[in-house]
Chain A
């Protein structure tokens, strides 16, 4: 069975602080994909990143960075120098190569306080 756990239900930080959102996953598949999505109050899902299970390189995109560690089944997301516009719900998700189903974590609600 596949499962995605985001243990942090809600986080509040002051603007300009760094914040890390945790994601731990479970799967028996050897080939799979991991995702992060942002859902602002409007509701529309914003794709942030997709990483396949064979690529453990960390990735940086502007203020965003991702740390994929297969040994601990984690795919954590860090926002550096947070901004109020980063306030949203962030979902970590998992998909196996054998099917297209995306399994979402429960999400972490991030509040960036001015």
Chain B
């Protein structure tokens, strides 16, 4: 089956620093990748949709200048949390869609971010 990886799996950083999270589709080309955020004991909330080679589309209420998304290749999308603050601490999950199987998203294992 299709595999999506995320790196790092967890990260602890100081307030004010920037953190980059990578999402890779390992065995397929992903024209579209999605980024979700999940706070403890809550549901997954879609943050943004990124298409390879174009600007990401952000959901309402998500600050595009704070959460920078780059989808530079068909197998890699990155999410950079700029000037992270404790309220950004969360579980970030990416997913990737294959062009051949619409409506099927393969989820990465997630990245736990803790901002001190």
Contact = CB atoms under 8 A, between A and B. Distances in A.
A45 B44 CA distance: 10
Interface residues of A, number: 21
A44 B107 contact: yes
B107 A100 contact: no
Q: What DSSP secondary structure best describes chain B's contact surface?
A: strand
Contacts of B41: 109
Nearest to A32: B103
Interface residues of B, number: 22
B60 interface: no
A100 B102 contact: yes
Interface of B: 32, 34, 41-46, 49, 91, 93, 95, 97, 102-107, 109-110, 112
12 contacts: A43-B91, A43-B93, A44-B110, A45-B93, A52-B103, A91-B44, A95-B103, A100-B102, A100-B105, A102-B34, A102-B105, A104-B43
